Chains A and B, each alone.
Chain A
């Protein structure tokens, strides 16, 4: 029993409730929200330290031992993702202070922000399939509110699609849970894993596994990403960054968890399906990222490519590639948040989101330009920055597993990322100055510093990857050997 595990859930929850009472007092809201967010980062750090020194931590809600009660489990993967979530969401929050606008803040932006964090942290920490569903819904309902908040025509249109697709996938999720409960008679993940190992995965369980894959792929944008590019370009930048960095990654986390802990018996079916979906995701995402000249679209398709790349690591399922998944997941969350923030500032500075009408911004915004260049290098995976180690591990793992096609496409996708983002960099920052940007420079000190924190983090993770790897490796161990997780949860 360790009550520390529930703090990433109740701190944002209580902050959100407190924020509802002060929804008219914008400055007070900002202070409360910032304090809550920073406290959350601190607690997440404590959890990572505790998991590092004392192994997997569990909390039995209400004192009911698993499989009867809900169990919160923090293995290294969950702890690291909670830490990454809290850090990058805090950066997005500080960015929002300067950009979101008083009107949105008065209409409950701050509570919804914290409710989103509740859902994301809960999804990472829970050890129960139905509780995962509930946390997904907490996260999604907060995201519905955040995506529509402001009520512009475009937001309303995209929200409709976004809600429809998520309601459909959520009902599939409930159906999948009902099926698996019918077959295995339990919903606790560790207990499920045991039951399925005893019964043998085949026939109906394969169908259920694929159903789960479809559900999580819809949430994560793995191959079934048709809804993503439109929906993610509707809300304001700070919200986009939260979505791009968190929502799809929760789906990926769910895939990692279910297919490393529960359905790992028939990789030739499930994992190769993930692999081929990932290949298609990277190809289609790559085509999308170079096809458009709208900055929002380019960034959104880059999110899709990232999802495909991570999934290659899941599909290869060697210890090395799973290490790579954890590493790349952390890097990708931070780098994508940064990319969205910088993209938002770029659009603000240029006065348009059309790349063809931009140019010569480097003279006025040198810092923004070089930060964009740095995050491009990080996403491509240039050695001193954070993307390199994760990519290297995934690709090594992929080759070691003998999956040359998947890994080849993954390697090639980095080139498309490089091309699409360098096109933005060259087009927007170099060349002739364009008319749309010829007004006086836009003030964005606060926003730049929020982004700078994330950039520093990327550099630190990149340079200190040896040190980060000592954490990541512990997470990879659990993914490679489900027995560790099961023992930790069901030991008493």
Chain B
């Protein structure tokens, strides 16, 4: 029997953007308010999981042709690399820099290298969660 899931798919198309916006918001606001790479990554992964639920896995994987194991690996590499960057500057491992920059649209903005570290965390989380979901769903 073909199930008619027009409503689910239509709602998903809208909601996914809200979730993704939420994920980005959580990710960038982590320095001064609740949020950060881990939660941002989880929320981002939940958007992907919703897509997998509403459509089928093959359709989505065709549109997002990423090997999520590699995404996790890239994330791990980024986290280690931000720590290792301080080795070249001869300061202790995992030291981070923070400074204020005048950006064109945002004005005076605090930029921290820890954001790059968090980006690695977020990619790691997305990669791991989606890999788990996909590998379990393949078995059934």
Contacts and interface: CB of A to CB of B under 8 A. Distances in A.
Query: Do the two shown chains form a genuine complex with each other?
Result: yes
B77 A3 contact: no
B92 A3 contact: yes
A3 B87 contact: yes
A3 B73 contact: no
A6 B73 contact: no
Contacts of A10: 80, 83-84, 93
26 contacts: A1-B92, A3-B86, A3-B90, A3-B92, A10-B83, A10-B84, A10-B93, A14-B77, A14-B80, A14-B84, A17-B76, A17-B77, A20-B69, A20-B70, A20-B72, A20-B73, A21-B70, A21-B73, A59-B93, A61-B92, A61-B93, A61-B94, A62-B94, A62-B95, A62-B96, A63-B95
A69 to B, nearest CB: 9
Tell me the dominant secondary structure on chain B's binding face.
Answer: helix
Interface in A55-81: 59-63
A6 B80 CA distance: 11
A17 B127 CA distance: 13
A20 B87 CA distance: 24
Given A3-B87, A10-B83, A62 B77 contact: no
Contacts of B77: 14, 17
User: How many A residues are at the interface, by size bracket?
Assistant: 10 to 19
Contacts of B83: 10
A377 interface: no
A13 interface: yes
Contacts, number: 42
A59 B73 contact: no
A13 B92 contact: no
A74 to B, nearest CB: 13
Nearest to A111: B73
A59 B84 CA distance: 14
A60 B94 CA distance: 9
Contacts of A59: 92-93
B91 interface: yes
A3 B88 CA distance: 10
A63 B69 contact: no
Contact of B92 (A14, A17, A21, A63): A63
Contacts of B95: 62-63
Given A10-B84, A20-B70, A21-B70, A63 B91 contact: yes
Contacts of B76: 13, 17
A20 B74 CA distance: 10
B84 to A, nearest CB: 6
A17 B83 CA distance: 15
Interface string B53-94: 000000000000000011011001100100110110011111
Contacts of A20: 69-70, 72-73
